[in-house]
Structure 1
């Protein structure tokens, strides 16, 4: 016997009655927000989905009526720091609704924000575990930071307040250190941030063929916690870890630490902290140079003092040697005189002449040796005087350095900055032209 046909409305009413009589009033459901749209009257319309390996296994419409949506949004934002948005996993309290005209849907009565927070933390730990297993967590930390970082690649947004603060601190530092930098523009939050930051890192790697950057910094201003979600991405963290430059992060959040911070060489809280860190390298290097200069000056002074003391001692020694010799010769002359007196009268004059001749010759020898010693002492004093840098400067000579070192033996180029010292002046100049010294070559 053929079953009696019923109208579509009758069937839909039967479905509605069946669902109402057999389903519980509410269920807690775990699903992903596939799409979220706000209505003109304040209602929210969602597509809830369930995926496995990127494939959608289930999908249903959901509605949050205006009053409930306002309450849910306030609570969700206060706990998670962000608003409901597509791509989030949520646990929602729902009731099943079937309408004869619009079909089946879910009416969302509440959302548990703590579940979403837990999901975010779980995903974060999964990414950290994966990076650890792949040996990427400390890969970028193996680089040694340069003592002075003069050429810096920057990834940031030109409109970001943090970027402006960073540049101002570098350009207006009180010590007038010169830092060269180049901006590689990228969005620093939102859906475009991850691909643009990764692309900027690739651009910097390509630019290294021409521009020898010392390090790479990723900076942004402060913002909400959710603005940092892009810095917890696996692909971005992997790209940072594999960079051929040491990377410093300053993404502008005082309390939280992103995965990008964990894989970077050095993490700092803010862009201004990054700028201070870079400038501190200049100050430490300058302090080290100053200490070395003081040490050199002290060593030179000690050496000069030691040489001077040695010359004085040698002078006294020579004087004593010659004095002893003179004394011995005088004694010898006295003995000769006594012998002459005891000799015959006729030898007295002869012996006196002989003794006088010997005395004269001895005096000449002594005088020559004394004069020779005094001349040697004068030559040594002149040599010491010539070697004294202050004497050279006083005579009109100058001392020219590049990067704190004498220019002799250094490669010089157009645009290099030189510092020339005279007795009274310190002159800074820039090389505009270089020519070979033909006279010197000849």
Structure 2
């Protein structure tokens, strides 16, 4: 029979071997997955090594509450964001083996400068790829309308930046009217890039039916690492190749994402985007005002020139008129007489025509009145014939039981009937019933 040991003894051997063979700590690079903080303040996660989307190795990680508070505060102070799932970190770990819980890496420290440096390296690689593919300035080549009147907005509906943007657009002091439609999307986190890309696809499908002229992506400020989704290649390519101009307002002045670089127009904040759109209206109005002023001045100059020409013509005509006055007086008097005669003839003709029209109108109105009176008499006669009292006066009667016509009731011998004639109400009792139906 083979000799054996217990599981706990085997685990103790493993624990002892690890403690004697491994260094106290190691610095390792890995991606945080399933990162969560328990109620007691301990952080639990997995450190994962990947090649693309393929997981090559992983180890369970712990960050005990006392160390977690200090490391998390220092990391946030340096990077402007919290430790979270999807973040690549350089961590100092001590490998431990628990007989019950197995192998784990207890994190002793995390270097925030590595996360910032890794982010910068990946960002530059993405910029270089977009430049090589000719995408960095592609969306900027789109023609932006002189005045933006219909826009699609990609944002979180609960974001303060979105609320500020809509309020500034809708309540502008000049009363400009801008149609806008929200396409909700996640604006941070692992799903943000795919969510924004999907929103762009929905806009692309509806842009023609809605008459959309441009897309606005707004978020507001945030920590550097919270904006990582806007540095991803897939989202940048979607923006760069989109068929409408894309305007961004997704960070503060100190932040410039790759999405900003490939967009048609990059502005600092959502309110800056709103002001940019409103300024297009004001600039259009100013240009119209300038054109109007130029046109007005040109017309005034033309009028002055024409006035001078007219005055010259008037003086020449006046001189000519004086010379022709004596010989033309008789002709003018004759023309005046003919004109007066013609006018009197026309007036008499018009007067005769009006008199004839008046008579025809009176005749037509009288005929219409007579026909309407005859129709009204016929209607009154028809209504009188339908009056129940008229029917009773012709010798008919109406019989009821408790106010209900007997035709609508099952009848029984002994029931009391109320019979109404035009002058009397008669009470009677049913003695027999014969069915004639």
> TM-score of the superposition, structure 2-length normalised?
0.69
Give the superposition deviation at 1:45. 2.2
**Structure 1 match to 2:108:** 109
**Structure 2 match to 1:272:** 271
Q: C-alpha deviations, 1:215-236, integer Å up to 9, x for none?
A: 1111123333333222222211
Give the superposition deviation at 1:312. 3.2
Counterpart Cα distance in 1 of 2:6 and 2:169: 78
**Structure 2 match to 1:190:** 189
Give the superposition deviation at 1:278. 0.9
Counterpart Cα distance in 1 of 2:151 and 2:49: 45
Q: Structure 1 pair 261/33, CA: closer, same or farther in 2 (3 Å)?
A: same
Counterpart Cα distance in 1 of 2:176 and 2:189: 35
Q: Structure 1 pair 184/49, CA: closer, same or farther in 2 (3 Å)?
A: closer
**Structure 2 match to 1:42:** 41
Q: Structure 1 pair 196/298, CA: closer, same or farther in 2 (3 Å)?
A: same
Superposed, 1:344-355 pairs within 5 Å as: none
Where 1:191 maps in the other structure, the secondary structure is coil
Counterpart Cα distance in 2 of 1:225 and 1:116: 11
**Structure 1 match to 2:210:** 211
Gaps of 5+ in 2: 333-437
Counterpart Cα distance in 2 of 1:135 and 1:180: 33
Where 2:35 maps in the other structure, the secondary structure is strand
**Structure 2 match to 1:169:** 168
**Structure 2 match to 1:80:** 79
Counterpart Cα distance in 2 of 1:57 and 1:257: 33
Where 1:279 maps in the other structure, the secondary structure is helix
Q: C-alpha deviations, 1:73-121, integer Å up to 9, x for none?
A: 1111111111222222211112222233333322211111111111111
Q: Is the 8 A contact 1:215 1:247 kept in 2?
A: yes
**Structure 2 match to 1:288:** 287
Q: Is the 8 A contact 2:79 2:223 kept in 1?
A: no
Counterpart Cα distance in 1 of 2:72 and 2:149: 48
**Structure 2 match to 1:22:** 21
Where 2:210 maps in the other structure, the secondary structure is coil
Q: Is the 8 A contact 2:88 2:115 kept in 1?
A: yes
Give the superposition deviation at 1:47. 1.6
**Structure 2 match to 1:352:** none
**Structure 1 match to 2:395:** none
Counterpart Cα distance in 2 of 1:164 and 1:86: 28
Superposed, 1:391-402 pairs within 5 Å as: none
- What is the root-mean-square deviation of aligned Cα atoms in Å? 2.7
Q: C-alpha deviations, 1:316-375, integer Å up to 9, x for none?
A: 56788999xxxxxxxxxxxxxxxxxxxxxxxxxxxxxxxxxxxxxxx769966xx99xxx
Q: Do structure 1's residue 54 and structure 2's residue 68 form an aligned pair? A: no
Matched positions, count: 331
**Structure 1 match to 2:69:** 70
**Structure 2 match to 1:152:** 151
Where 1:208 maps in the other structure, the secondary structure is helix
Gaps of 5+ in 1: 324-362, 373-442
Q: Structure 1 pair 42/250, CA: closer, same or farther in 2 (3 Å)?
A: same
Counterpart Cα distance in 2 of 1:24 and 1:126: 35
Q: Is the 8 A contact 2:31 2:86 kept in 1?
A: yes
Counterpart Cα distance in 1 of 2:287 and 2:154: 31
**Structure 2 match to 1:12:** 11
Q: Which moved more, 1:274-283 or 1:54-63?
A: 54-63
**Structure 1 match to 2:117:** 118
Where 1:96 maps in the other structure, the secondary structure is strand
Counterpart Cα distance in 2 of 1:13 and 1:188: 48
Where 1:300 maps in the other structure, the secondary structure is helix
**Structure 2 match to 1:383:** none
Q: Is the 8 A contact 1:322 1:366 kept in 2?
A: no
Q: Is the 8 A contact 1:49 1:60 kept in 2?
A: yes
Counterpart Cα distance in 2 of 1:4 and 1:250: 71
Q: Is the 8 A contact 1:36 1:45 kept in 2?
A: yes
Q: Structure 1 pair 367/179, CA: closer, same or farther in 2 (3 Å)?
A: farther
Superposed, 1:380-399 pairs within 5 Å as: none
Q: Do structure 1's residue 239 and structure 2's residue 238 form an aligned pair? A: yes
**Structure 2 match to 1:253:** 252
Q: Which moved more, 1:262-271 or 1:212-221?
A: 212-221
Counterpart Cα distance in 1 of 2:169 and 2:5: 80
Q: Do structure 1's residue 140 and structure 2's residue 106 form an aligned pair? A: no
Where 2:242 maps in the other structure, the secondary structure is coil
Q: Is the 8 A contact 2:86 2:190 kept in 1?
A: no
Give the superposition deviation at 1:259. 1.1
